[in-house]
Amino acid sequence: MSPQISFIVPVYNTQQYLNRCFSSIVQQKYEDWEVIVVNDGSTDESLEILQKWALRDRRIKVVTQKNSGLSVARNTGMKYAKSEWIGFIDSDDYIEPNTLELIWPLLNKPVDMICWGVKIISQPGEPLLPWLKIQEHHLRSRFQGELFFTQKVAKKEPVTVWNKLFRRSIIEKNEINFPAKVLFEDNAFYWKYYPFCKKAFFLKDKLYCYIQRQNSIMGKIFTNQMPAQINACLAGADLFDFYLKQGFFNKYQYLLQTLYWGLFMLDFEHTQGSAKQQVVNEAAQILDKYKFIHKTAETKTILSRNIENIINFKKIGFAKKLFSISRNEYGRKYIYILGVRLWT
């Protein structure tokens, strides 16, 4: 008989965090689960620690592959999962002791996603840095209970995958995966899953403990320490291709352009100096490959390939809402008068 939940845990050189991570899972009250650990070519003692855990608890299965990155590791883990519900845990994080106790009663509900809150924790002895406080606000729980997973709801829910459970049947049927060697891979996976998710259940409880380290990838991005551009737009290109393959690119073209603009701005704002023009050119080249029936103002601004236009567009974004006529992600027109949105 298959377990109720499969947790995918990618591991790459995180030996100092592994015991805490796996202890938090093994100590849960409910026991009908499995953990698929994907050792992504670690060069430290991670594999030895994982093998000890696998010997200690047969519900923990270790798969080793050559180093291919987080996305490929997660995709590998999903191939080995046996449960209907799939969750993700990063190996330097952990879950609260009552996580499964609160989630378990929800597994038989008629929903396609289960979401819960996140607790951001800085390294021992370090204060919660300003950029972490911003992230904590972004990752806060906004909903409670069972809801239809509309665009409005989907856009307000954080795209992170490690505070959610997804149905394996939906993932496999629609070939949903993480894009290889692309940052913001959670963004792509979440929005690939969105069209097939009819309802979701939300818990406000902060059950996932997200450890933020200044030398992590996200830490370097938010403190502008990345040595090169972050290429977030590649996640947008992956989304475009997926929606085209599924045959509903036109139906969601406004949503896709809105998401692409957000990813582009991550690239643009976290790239320094003259490299900004390269970011703009590459983002425009991606857009040139796709045929939008209606281009949004954001898309037209990127396609202008003009940095000044982009900066000015961002500045006047709020001013335009004082009085403007535009379309939402569904293609429906609306009017802003003194900041109040009126449907037409």
246 and 339 share one domain: yes
151 and 9 share one domain: yes
CA 105 to chain CA centroid, Å, is: 25
301 and 208 share one domain: no
Is residue 145 in some structural domain?
A: yes
114 and 56 share one domain: yes
186 and 258 share one domain: no
pLDDT at 2: 86
Question: Is 225's pLDDT higher than 70?
Answer: no
Is residue 125 in some structural domain?
A: yes
Average pLDDT over residues 228-232: 70
pLDDT at 315: 73
Is residue 127 in some structural domain?
A: yes
**Rounded distance between C-alpha atoms, residue 326 and residue 336, angstroms:** 8
How much of the chain is helix, strand and coil, in % rounded to 5? 40, 20, 35
Output the pTM of the full model. 0.89
**% of residues, the chain, pLDDT over 90:** 73
321 and 208 share one domain: no
More confident residue, 138 or 246: 246
**Number of domains the chain contains:** 2
Mean pLDDT (the chain, rounded):
88
Is residue 40 in some structural domain?
A: yes
Is residue 228 in some structural domain?
A: no
Domain end among 187, 222, 257: 222
**Rounded distance between C-alpha atoms, residue 36 and residue 64, angstroms:** 11
53 and 170 share one domain: yes
Domain end among 222, 248, 266: 222
User: Of the ranges 66-80, 211-225, 261-275, which one carries the lowest mean pLDDT score?
Assistant: 211-225
Is residue 227 in some structural domain?
A: no
Residue 313 parent element (H or E): helix 307-315
**Rounded distance between C-alpha atoms, residue 315 and residue 311, angstroms:** 6
**Rounded distance between C-alpha atoms, residue 28 and residue 101, angstroms:** 8
216 and 237 share one domain: no
Nearest-5° angle of CA 254, CA 255, CA 257? 65
328 and 308 share one domain: yes
pLDDT at 214: 60
Domain end among 197, 222, 247: 222
52 and 199 share one domain: yes
Q: Tell me the pLDDT tens digit for each residue of 14-73.
A: 999 999 999 999 999 999 999 999 999 999 999 999 999 999 999 999 999 999 999 999
Is residue 247 in some structural domain?
A: yes
103 and 52 share one domain: yes
Question: Is 216's pLDDT higher than 80?
Answer: no
Boundaries of domain holding 273: 233-343
pLDDT at 338: 47
123 and 200 share one domain: yes
Average pLDDT over residues 88-99: 97
Average pLDDT over residues 230-257: 95
pLDDT at 314: 81
Q: What is the CATH number of the domain that holds 29?
A: 3.90.550.10
Average pLDDT over residues 307-328: 68
